[in-house]
Structure 1
Amino acid sequence: MYLTDASDATRCKVFPTTLTKTAIKWFDSLPPRSITSSDDLTKKFLARFSIQKDKTKHAPSLLGIKQGDRKSLRSYMERFNKACLDIQNLPTEEAIMGLINGLREGPFSHSISKKHPTYLNEVQERAEKYINMEENSRLGEASKTGLSNPPRDKDKESRKKEDQPTEKPRKYHNYTPLRVSLVDVYREICNTEKIPPPHPIKHKRGGSRTEYCEYYQIYGHSTNECYDLKNVIEKLAREGRLDQFLANRADEQKKRRRDEEGE
């Protein structure tokens, strides 16, 4: 969130997905519209759970994070991002300097030294380019040497695939016809209906960067293709909580047809 300069609204929406057990119960008990900003949410969370850290970390602690000779750029960026979360009010310049200081000698560090970034999201975008190059290079080398999938690993993978279903089981046998796209339904009701947060999933590498799911807030699949959101919407429909929305949509379509016939 910090490295990508996420908006205040995005931080508020994503934060509840990290909570479990007592914390999520506390969040669900908050009165509607009682949170005005991510800072407000942070203060209320800390006041409720009284989180204390043994030692307060400051920007200089980032200097201890190094990439390492055999560590990938992706793993370094992930460790650095986590370290930034432990530092309150971290200045952008000090974060960038700490990140550059920890890079090992290589193409990305040379690129950064030639053109010094001024924003964290700029660093992230440039890092993604070199991460992809690094991973593609490793895959190419592995395929040449024939070590990408040793025989034993292939046997294990084949057994795992046999044990796992090829397709995720359907939760419902029949789904309510919505007559509008899933994303339109979600956008319409997400501010009025209490929609449960998405289940935590491991982000898949190599997913499509052109398809974005508004429910999970990740790239890799579109909102209309989100299996879990479809089940959430179906549950609301079966509880009768979409009747008014669907009725309004039907009236709008009838009015639109009448207007078109009148023209």
Structure 2
Amino acid sequence: MDIQISEQFVPPQFKIYDGTTDQEANIKTFSNKMAFRTDNNAIWCRAFSLSLEEEALHTQDLTIFDLVTLKQGKEETLRAFMDRYQKTVRWVKGLSPKLALQYILPALKLGPFKDIVYRRAPKTMEELRERATDEIRVEEMKLVYKKENQENKGGKTNWGKSGGQVGKPGGFKQRELPQGPRFQQYTPLNASRAKIFQEALSAELIPEPKRRPMPPGANSNKHCLYHKNMGHSTEECVTLRDKIEELICAG
């Protein structure tokens, strides 16, 4: 703390750790940026503390009233709310973690995460963050699939209205299908794609697919649970393989 830093030295700008992200990743980011400026450990520590002091000057202390009146908005995502909640908890003076946890349930809007907290109240802030992180992944995955479904429906409607008619009356231009795999490599699975598909459906991680017509000359001995038709097996289904890999990438 006694190290003197030159007035010409400019500490790197980085996001201050607020308790909502990985603290080790935050420190690593700071270290990588500082490595380009100096290898003096004392300056590293002093520059880090100066950043914290600067943030404290711009942060107004909150009161317990701010926490009591904190509510999740009807359209507010769990990620956005948890960010507000943890920042509020952080800046309320003299607030114990036990008291902070008491206000999370009434602050949450009706939904799956509120049900989870109601059934088994978290005992620590770390447990609350871990459970919230899991639910945020599920929530964001559902939003992605909801958006994809809306885009697909819109694309089908526009394609239908434009008619796709070319040349002969009654003729339709077929949509081009994506060629090749979507991912460079696929994660090895410890269960069959059929089983993973059923569990993903139950957890609402994959939307219920619509039945597709069986292509001409399809192999009637093979059935796909995802497309609900014949021609290829569930394990051979390229579309399902990509959907499962998307879930793995999303955690």
Query: Do they superpose with TM above 0.5?
Result: no
Q: Where is the helix percentage greater, Structure 1 or Structure 2?
A: 1
Pairwise TM-score range, normalised by the shorter structure: 0.3 to 0.5
TM (normalized to structure 2)?
0.41
Q: Which has the higher contact order (CA 8 A, sep 6+)?
A: 1
